[in-house]
Structure 1
Amino acid sequence: MKIIAFGASTSSASINKALATYAANLVAGAEVQVLDIKNYSVPMFSEDLEKEIGHAEGAKAFLDDLSQADAFVISFAEHNGHHPAAYKNLFDWATRIDRDIFKNKPAVYLATSPGPGGAQSVLAAATASAGFFGGDVKASVSVPSFYDNFDMEKGQITNAAIAAEIEQAVKTLQG
């Protein structure tokens, strides 16, 4: 099984990328490829620009990488209660090429933030809209107060209850 994991963030120290990487690597025997959305450069989306240039190359590359997956682990960053602009922009370009970007492959959606809310707003929005884009969300988990519950040096969850919840979530990808 090949799992594509990424954090929907462009931060070089993305806590969501760290969380997605941790979770994906819990799937026994899986090949994990971690994407960095900074590698998919796209201009700010507009219909006028789309008419002018066609499909953005970064969006095509993103879709090509997504197509290699058997399953997904995505952790959503939250900016003021919503998707970060860079991820939303890439997503918009990609869905103009193929609205069904996740191809009904199983997915675990995660979200985290430094604060106690755990990016629950963006996780709820992503989970609620997944079906419109071929997302088959098997489980979702919000991790509050990231730095209190994750050891960045070791790359792992330190809170036993949250660790168990994430382990249960990723097991849904195996069958």
Structure 2
Amino acid sequence: MKIIAFAGSNSSTSINKKLVTYVSSYFQGHTIEILDLNDYEMPLFSVDKLAKDGIPQLTLDFAEKIDSSDFLLISLAENNGAYTTAFKNVFDWLSMIPERPVFGNKPMFLLSTSPGARGGASVMEIAKNRMPHSGGKVIETFSLPSFYKSFVEGKGITNSEYATELATKIEKIKDDLLM
């Protein structure tokens, strides 16, 4: 199985990139490619830019990565209760590719984390409701609250309750996808 993983953030110190990288380690034995949104920096979407210049090549490149995968692992950062501008911009450009579901009808595991106690709950709610309408088959979700209290680099999730929840969900995903 080929897995494309990325964080919905362009921060060089993204905690969501740390989370998605950690979670991807549970899928040993599979091909995993971790993308960085900074490698897909596109002009700010507008219909005027679309009409003038067409769809940026980086959009097509990102779509190709999605299409080459069997499974998407996405950790969504939250900014003011919604997607980050970086993620939303990629999403908007992808939605302009004619006759193509944005997320390629791929199964996906949605993650989120934040420094706060809600763990990105607002962006997760938006994504759970939006992704099925955009070619994403959400098979599971996981939010990690209080990142700096619940996660240690090199160790992973240190809160046993959250670690168990994540492990259980990953086993379910493996059972569902590899049957």
TM-score band, normalised by shorter chain:
over 0.9
Partner of 1:79: 79
The Cα RMSD (Å) is 1.3
Q: CA deviation at 1:103?
A: 2.2
1:105-124 equivalences in 2 (<5 Å): 105-124=106-125
1:89-168 equivalences in 2 (<5 Å): 89-97=89-97, 99-152=100-153, 154=154, 156-168=156-168
Q: Distance in 2 between matches of 1:106 and 1:74?
A: 11
- Structure 1 outlier segments of 4+, above 3 Å: none
Q: CA deviation at 1:19?
A: 0.6
- Scaled by the length of structure 1, the TM-score of the pair is 0.94
Q: Which runs of 5+ in 1 are unaligned?
A: none
Q: Distance in 1 between matches of 2:48 and 2:4?
A: 32
- Scaled by the length of structure 2, the TM-score of the pair is 0.92
Q: 1:136 to 1:63 in 2, by over 3 A?
A: same
Q: 1:59 to 1:155 in 2, by over 3 A?
A: farther
Q: 1:9–1:17: 8 Å Cα contact kept in structure 2?
A: yes
Pairs aligned (count): 174
Partner of 1:56: 56
Q: Distance in 2 between matches of 1:172 and 1:39?
A: 32
Q: Distance in 2 between matches of 1:134 and 1:32?
A: 21
Q: Which runs of 5+ in 2 are unaligned?
A: none
